[in-house]
Amino acid sequence: MKSFFLKYHPFFLILLPCLLAEVIAGITFFSGKVLIADYLFREDDLNFGQADYEALILSSIEISYLSLGVVFLWPTLKRKVLDMKASTSDLFRAKTRIYNFPGFLILSVWVLGFFQHGFFLIMEPNFEHKFAYVFVATLSTIVSAILIYYSTEFLNRFLLIPHWFPDGKIKVRWKIKAPSLFLRFGDSFLISGILPIISIIGILYLSTVYGQNEVGLLERLLTVTTIIGGIFWSLGALLTILNSKTFLIPIQSMHTALDHYAEGRFTERIPVHSDDALGVLEVAVNHMGEALEEKEIIKTVFGHYVSPAVRDLILGGKVNTDGDRIEAVILFSDIRSFTSLSETFPPERIVRLLNIHFGRIVEIVSKNNGFVDKFIGDAVMAVFDEELTSGAHRISALRAAAEILKELDTTNAEIAELGFPPIRIGIGMASGPVIRGNIGSENRREMTVIGDIVNLASRLESATKEFGSPILMTESTFDPSYTDIKSIRKISEEALNIRGKSSTVKVLAFDLV
């Protein structure tokens, strides 16, 4: 139904006001001729202008309106030859006409109504009931103008504006001023409250002029005023529904979009129905969605180059430019005999091996609330921040080391299919205070940690080759609750001479069970 309407919408826009005008004209005839003249006053000559040539006048008026409507919407009637996305003069003209058509209608109703009723009064200079005719004609024109405008504007707002302005940017050459939000409520009050009172007062006045002092007049007067009031209240209810929907539909769509944004679904966009206050809000919601989606894309891409934990710290503005002193465990992991692998296999295959190996390490470190600080050739440096691990940085680091060793069998099975021999790794860990901050120049910075324990962890990793154990850690890094980790066991404790240290360092060695 919607696609059918959009396909032929210029014709619907021209015909809909005609149908509404005919309905209101029928209501007017019923009210003026049947209710007031025939039923209330029983005056055959009180015909409110039902002259023999009135059909000709009405036909001429309708033909004039149809002609004006076709001329006004002619650019849209040619839409099949227009590219809806092209920025052409014809398309711009068509958009301008569609946007302003409701305003054109309200002007047309008043102008054509003036000519219709004015022509009748000119042709009937001796018409005895001019006041009654002008009174009914004025009310009819007011109601016609209001209902035709808001009915067409409703279709325009919720079907045609999104169709002709799919990007939400409502730009036209000129505008017929649309009613403000205050005037919308005023029009509803006019039809529902003011016009019924004016009509009843008018009927009471006419009853003093044309009514006869007879039994039953008061009863008929009550019946007529009740029906007239009911007609106005029904039309007012229709207008109230149109105006309430004008508010509710955009508000509901914005509410739905905001719910989706709250759930992390930032691709939701809502159609922009107007350029009034509601339209401005719709545009703002779409801009919010675009900004959130862009931020999420940046966040996702950024997370491919830095750890998600680091990413969130940086994007959240939680990294002090002067550096923060934190307590952490530093973990270094390195592939043994990597130089011989690099000399044996081409670089493309080496990169593939590293991506497989690093992929598992990053996943394990992140799962244990740590973050990978950097990749250094075949080595990985990971950080387990005391704050980010809620004080469990030591056991988290040891658990991650155990899982990395355990997953090595899976990695070796995968790279074996690529023709690589099994790889072995060493892991060194040290804990203590470090400085976390943005290190670098004005043009390029890197969020990293620096401190003595970083060098110590790296040298412990190197010492695993001579020590013959895959995991070495300082005594301060040890967490007695390691026994919960069933996949590793402590094999020894020794004091080692570490390069750069003036005294020996007590270390603990671990291996898989």
Provide the residue-wise pLDDT of the chain in tens; the chain has 513 residues: 677 777 777 777 778 877 887 788 788 878 777 877 777 777 655 555 445 556 666 677 777 777 887 888 887 777 654 555 555 777 888 888 888 888 888 888 888 778 777 776 776 666 566 777 778 888 888 888 888 899 989 988 888 888 888 888 888 888 888 888 788 888 888 988 898 898 888 888 877 776 666 667 788 888 888 888 888 898 888 888 988 999 899 999 999 999 999 888 888 899 998 888 888 899 999 999 988 888 887 777 666 655 666 667 666 666 666 678 889 999 999 998 888 888 889 999 999 999 999 999 999 998 898 988 889 989 999 999 998 888 889 999 999 999 999 999 999 999 999 899 999 999 999 999 998 887 777 777 777 889 999 999 999 999 888 888 899 999 889 887 777 777 788 888 888 887 777 788 899 998 887
pTM as predicted: 0.62
The domain boundary residue, chosen from 250, 280, 297: 250
Report if residue 296 sits inside a domain: no
Per-residue pLDDT at 81: 46
Report the number of distinct structural domains present in the chain: 2
- Tracing tokens 């934990």 back to the chain, one arrives at 309
Q: What is the pLDDT of residue 110?
A: 84
Amino acid at 57: I
Residue type, 456: L
Cα atoms in the Cβ-side hemisphere of radius 13 Å centred on 88: 11
Residues 213 and 343 in one domain: no
All residues at 6 or more sequence positions from 303 whose CB lies less than 8 Å from its CB, including other chains: 311
Structural domain harbouring 175: 2-250
Q: Which of 218, 250, 282 is the last residue of a domain?
A: 250
Give the CATH number for residue 430.
Answer: 3.30.70.1230
Last residue of a domain, one of 250, 275, 297: 250
Indicate whether 202 and 323 sit together in one domain. Answer: no
Burial (CB count <10 Å: 0-12, 13-18, 19+), residue 126: exposed
- Three-state secondary-structure class, residue 339: helix
d(CA 46, CA 33): 7
CA distances from 156 to 15, 148, 289, 295, 464 (A): 14, 12, 25, 34, 75
Task: Tell me, yes or no, whether 233 and 328 share the same domain.
Answer: no
The two structure tokens encoding residue 329: 């465990």
Whether residues 221 and 364 share a domain: the answer is no
Query: SS3 letters for 445-483?
Result: EEEEEECHHHHHHHHHHHHHHHHCCCEEEEHHHCCHHHH
Instruction: Classify residue 139: in a domain, yes or no.
Output: yes
